[in-house]
Copies of this chain bind each other. A is one copy, B any other.
């Protein structure tokens, strides 16, 4: 899971000298923190270190990372004119450091484990552009979707085109698989997702280089699973608020699933963690096509030794 590195002492040391944005823009450093997470935690895949809002900077909306608060967009997209004003952006030209980080990480991994590239999903990126910051109720986002449907779809189309180029660029640079983090779709009514989001996600996934596995992830999606499947993805990423086995049955046999331990469980003791790991593996009935993972990002308070212990437990329990 993305952000696993941030609990590591090596990552924190790098962050003492580099801000989040500067770290993303320094390919050697981004590749280094990507690889160190594999070394320390013993996971079976790497995911490139980056941020889902890196594309917001060339869009000219005034992206900043304010200490403790997370991302802030100084000139949020609120009206149709704001959508019109967004420039066409070529990621290869404007965020070359991401592709360079992918190349360097792949080199450093030397085939030990596969490397996953990623992007924010169009709804999730749109929600930051519109709200201007992390949100709980997404009222501005839903407001644009409901009151200005033409502007909404225009924004989603721009983001879809951008996301395709961005992910294909990562694939060309050496990513073995890509993950689409449409993390906040769980705030939507299924009907709103179907009308306002699904066509754009489908376009993104259909536009990616063929043969590359795509992990399609969201949180709070227990009411959206069939629609996520319709939008596409080789693997559907599940958060912990759904039974993995039940979700897989709803999704059908033709798709893999990723998940879904509650990240809060990594704050418990080893016995509690093992119980949770077993429950997830049992729920998956140990069928091929299940990628064990947390249900969402690693919580900052997680002791990294607990994350490492969890990885070992998964390996042990899977061998049985």
Contacts and interface: CB of A to CB of B under 8 A. Distances in A.
A182 interface: no
Contact of A222 (B222, B268, B299): B222
Interface string A174-203: 000000000000111111100000000000
Contacts of A246: 190, 223
Interface residues of A, number: 38
A147 B268 contact: yes
A300 B279 CA distance: 40
A242 interface: yes
A8 B116 CA distance: 52
A248 interface: no
A307 to B, nearest CB: 16
B191 A264 contact: no
A189 B241 contact: yes
B139 A267 contact: yes
B242 A222 contact: yes
Contact of A190 (B137, B188, B242, B269): B242
Contacts of A143: 264, 267-268
Contact of A243 (B136, B191, B220): B191
Interface string A144-170: 001100000000000000000000000
A192 B139 contact: no
A231 to B, nearest CB: 16
A23 B176 CA distance: 61
B240 A189 contact: yes
A301 B262 CA distance: 33
A62 interface: no
A11 interface: no
B243 A279 contact: no
A299 B186 CA distance: 18
A142 interface: yes
A265 interface: yes
Interface string A17-57: 00000000000000000000000000000000000000000
Contacts of A224: 241
A50 B222 CA distance: 31
18 contacts: A137-B299, A138-B264, A139-B299, A142-B262, A143-B268, A146-B265, A146-B267, A188-B241, A189-B241, A189-B295, A190-B246, A220-B220, A220-B222, A220-B241, A222-B223, A223-B241, A223-B243, A223-B246
Given A187-B241, A189-B276, 13 more contacts: A136-B136, A137-B264, A139-B299, A143-B264, A143-B268, A146-B267, A186-B220, A189-B262, A189-B295, A190-B241, A190-B246, A222-B222, A222-B223
